[in-house]
Each structure stands twice: as structure tokens, then as C-alpha cells.
Amino acid sequence: MRIPRLFLPALWLAALLAVAPARARSAENGEIVSVAKREFLARGLGRKGLDLLMEKNGKIYIVASPGDLAALFAARVPFSRETDRFFPFDQTGISPSGGLNGAYHSTLELETDLRVLERDYPQLAKVVELGETLEKRKIYALKISDNVSLEENEPAVLFVGCHHAREWISVEVPFLFGKYLLENYAGSPEVQDLVNRSEVWIVPIVNPDGLEYTIHVYRYWRKNRRFNADGSYGVDINRNYAYQWGYDNVGSSPGPASDIYRGTAPFSEPEADAVRRLFLSRNFRAMISFHSFAQDILYPWGYVNAPTPKEAELDAIARTMSGLIAAVRGTVYAYGRAAGLLYTTNGDTVDWVFGVSGIPGFTIELPPVDVEHGGFFNDEAAIDAIFRENLPAMLYLTDYAIQHPSSPAVRALEWARRLLSPPRLKFFGRIDKAP
């Protein structure tokens, strides 16, 4: 249905929201709409802090809050309601088969599976409590190393998922990587060598509160669940890191109701702060932050479309990872500078990691490539295949981190760690200090 230009936006807005099922409707949830790309550009909507879902066939798709819808009406921007094309309204081939989240992890299910890995591989796996969310959920990491209880100051690699709550597949890929390393340590010389010479740190769910909200209330929720001063909810955790935080109002938003709201200050959110404290406590040499969807491998900078001093190195690593992924089953992941290949973001994880340390850091946008192939709703049967195609790239980056010595920026960071009081990381059963 094409929405005409209306003179009574409040009445039409109420009618538009009323057609959504009750489970997906609340004062803070809205609709998926599309705007013609030409209209989108002419109206400067890219600078309005909207939650952009995708571009497809000359249309820009937006996850629009009630406030966004009201603003579009008030500005007389013609748009079409597209909600019925998306899960859970259109469930063609992508509905979870068991329970609300099917084969995907809830926060409790993840904690259980992490503890099982720790129990089954006590010499190799340790579950670490990084922090606590606003709703009192724990943020967990899985540490994997050959002498996991010792502090050996080995090269470390970080894999994180689920900064954005609706990106369920981003939980599964890093978790399955940890599971793969542990299950294959005894039988694979390659895996054993990597684990023996490194620390692999995996944080599958950075945003537990948001994830639970997507399971039980609103599947398209993106942010955490902070109650903001204006009565809205949520901060985009992936705009809350300190490097170039608030650089402009395009790559993040100062408006609390925006889906790219950056928060009141850098690291104002406990989730981003938990990642910060972990990163500063270890000798990390490389990292990947998993997201969805687009099938891209992105490297800094995100805040501005300009090269870093290590553009050639980052591009070569991304190109290699893309080739390794494609070799598995032909899936093509584009690669390039984040601000050039995707869009500008400021205050994001990978820019911060690179900005403070200079190590190779990447955002991997997992499949699918567009909404026609599932959007945020990967078929459960595809979970293992998506992990398997990313596995060689994760193994390669781990080896790369081991093979390449510390850069001057990393060495400076190591000196800074010695001068600062180290953060305390809670291991099950005791409190251990980071080195």
C-alpha cells in the first residue's frame, strides 16, 4: 500500500500501527517502511538518524519508530508500509522451529552451553564474567588456551557478537568457533597449535538485555534497554565507544529515540565498558565484531571515509578472509573500508580497537545479503553453514595474530596497562586479576 501525502498524520499513524500484531506493538515499536531512493536522497533522510535496514531495487527500507513515522508524515515524505514482508509477519521458511528463538541462543541457553564447555574441557576453557547489564544480566566471555587458568601473556584474539539485539546469527558464529576449537583440539594439529600459542576470547552476546527483548517482545529491537531521560529506551552500544564518539550526527545520533543513539558519554553503557575492560586487560593482536546482515568484511575507518596508516595491511587481510570464505561454498563477502563500503559510523567497536591499539580489527556482516534471502532472520538450517564458511577466516586471523609481533601502538598500550590498575575479571568460583 502506497501511503499518500496526508493532512491528518496522527490519525493515520494510529491506524497504521493498529494493524500490527499486539506482540510486536508498543509505544516504542513501529513499522518497516520503504522510501524511494531518489526521495530519500532529495530529503536528506540519511542525516536524520533513521534505522536503515537495507537498500533494494531503488528503495531504502527503514525500521521506523512511531516518532520516525510521525516525522515522515509531518514532512510529507511518501513511503510504503513493508512490515508484512518481514518475519514474524511473513514466516516463509524462516520461522524458528522450536520455541520463540528455536535453534538460536537465549542468554540463559548460552550461559548453560558455555558452562558445559568449561566442564568438558577444564584445561582449555574458562568462562569469565565481564560485567553486568542494566537489567542485571551477566556478560560472559569464553577464554580458550592450553593452560587456561594461567596468565601467560600470549597473543590474544577477540571475537564478539550481538552488539545489536536483532542480529541473532552474530551470537552463533563466535560461539560455534569456540566450540569447534575445543572439540577439535585433541584431533587437529592445526587447532592444537593455534590454541597452544594464543588466547582466544569469545564474547557471543554483548547485549543480553536487548537480545531477550527481541525474543519476547519485539524482534526488530536493536539497542540495549536503558531508560532514557526523554522516556525512550536504548543506546546503540556500537556507537558508545570512545574513539571519535559523537564525531558527527550522521554516523551516530544525539537523540535518545534514534536507533543509532550514542548515549550520554563514551562508555556510558555497561556493555561497551565490559568490552573495553576486557580489551585493555589482555595482549590482543586482532579482533572481529560480528553483525548482520550484508555479507561484508569492513575495516577502519568507519567514522570518516579516509584510509588509516595501515590501509594496505587491513585490505590484504580482508581480501584473504573473503577468499577463504568464498572457497567453502561460494558465498561472496565484499570487503573494504567501512565508511566507503557501507556507511559512516562513529563510536563503533572496531574504530575504537584500531584507534587505541593499531591492531587489525574487522566488522563482519554475516549473511544474508538482503531481505529476499531472510534479512535478520536466517533459516535455522543455515546456522552451521554460515559458521563453516567463516571458520577458515577465523582460523587464519588467529594465526595472523600469532605470527605478527606487536606494533608500536600495541607496545604503548602494554605500557599503559602496567601503569593503570588492571580491571578485575570474575571467573566462576573465584576472582582473578587481569595481568
Residues marked active site are found at 365
Residue with cell 520503504: 34
d(CA 142, CA 132): 16
According to DSSP, the β-strands at 125-132 and 59-64 are unpaired
DSSP line for 119-156: HH-TTTEEEEEEEE-TTSPEEEEEEE-TTTTS-----E
How many residues make up the chain in this entry?
Answer: 435
Extract the C-alpha cell encoding 33. 517502511
Residue with cell 542480529: 167
Q: Is the peptide bond before 435 cis (omega within 30 degrees of 0)?
A: no
165 φ, ψ to 5°?
A: -60, -40
Count helices and strands in the chain by DSSP H and E runs: 13, 15
Extract the C-alpha cell encoding 11. 490519525
DSSP 334: E
DSSP line for 170-191: HHHHHHHHHHHHHHHTTT-HHH
d(CA 365, CA 370): 11
d(CA 389, CA 392): 7
* Cα 188 → chain centroid: 30
Q: Is the peptide bond before 201 cis (omega within 30 degrees of 0)?
A: no
Strand partners, 60: 35, 55
